[in-house]
Amino acid sequence: MTITQETDFCIDLHCHSTASDGALSPQELVERAATQGVTHLALTDHDTVAGLSAAALSAAQKGVTLITGTELSCVWRSHTIHIVGLDFDPENRDFRDALAVQNANRWARARAIADKLGKTGVDDLLGKATAKADGDVPGRPHFARVLMDEGVVRDSAQAFKRYLGQGKPGDVRAYWPGLGEVVQWILGAGGVAVLAHPRKYKMTASRLSALVSDFKQAGGKAMEVSTSGQSSGDLGFLAELCRREKLLASQGSDFHFPGAPWCELGRIAKMPDGIEPVWHHFKSPVGH
Ligand code: AMP
Ligand code: FE
Ligand code: FE
Ligand code: ZN
């Protein structure tokens, strides 16, 4: 595993703060990124841009270039898919309105998750999960933390395995907009839409090709090729997919919390040759 450096750059275009389900505040996150040698960072909290202004302040102090980012939840066929938006205008009116709708979607989903997990017997599950999210809308990781605290499960992995992961009662997808809709939100705000961590959906190669095809049809331009915790086989597979589909390539750690050596800010396997990085196409191109 090497740290990706494009000449003098270290680029991480996917990570999370307390504005969604990360452990570090936007300021702490940027400081950690700077310590790790990251020169260009996109904070991509789930369905929100709430952390961006604090991150921008900190980035200016630390000499880190911050690229605007978010990670939008949507549904394609029966799968929950994540689309990273990069380099958009976070003040765009329609985009703000769409995020407000998405926040309402997340609240409706949180209530549904709490209902579905009623049989765990945890009293006021929604209230406790909301407290874990500092009063903001709780995501599945916040529910997982409550189930751990209450002794229902041993750890977060078990919470997902039994209650919150794909196909489990707390995996409620009915509230997400369609793939084409969220791609349009990003394009409307002048950004680039990136298919996040394509291997995480556990799709067959042919289903993934169908997803990529629909994503491109909708206006998607890039996909993550290098992300944390991927085998070199996955990396090669995604690089080949990216080349074949003529998409731009992105990379990001998907960092959520410190202490996981396999997932650290800026520690991303080097992108294979022969693919065009998405950052060459930013409004202020990086390294090109
Ligand atoms: P949400 O946006 O509320 O659906 O939560 C999605 C987040 O849950 C992901 O970004 C991960 O941080 C976390 N997550 C999803 N699946 C798992 C899993 N199997 N184990 C641990 N965390 C997971
Ligand atoms: Fe997350
Ligand atoms: Fe994701
Ligand atoms: Zn993420």
3-state secondary structure of 250: strand
Query: Which positions of the chain have pLDDT values less than 70?
Result: 1-7
Find the helix or strand (DSSP H, E) in which 180 lies: helix 179-188
For 137-186, write each residue's pLDDT tens digit: 999 999 999 999 999 999 999 999 999 999 999 999 889 999 999 999 99
Atom of ligand 1 nearest to the CA of 80: 4
Please give the pLDDT value at position 6.
62
Distance of alpha carbon 95 from the chain centroid: 17
Pocket of ligand 1 (CB under 6 A): 21, 46, 73, 139-141, 156-157, 160, 165, 256
Asked if 219 contacts 176 with a C-beta cutoff of 8 angstroms, the reply is no
SS3 74: strand
pLDDT of res. 3: 45
Using one digit for the tens of pLDDT, what is the confidence trace for 195-214? 999 999 999 999 999 999 99
209 Cβ partners below 8 Å, 6+ apart? 241
Predicted structure pTM score: 0.96
Closest approach atom of ligand 1 to CA 157: 20
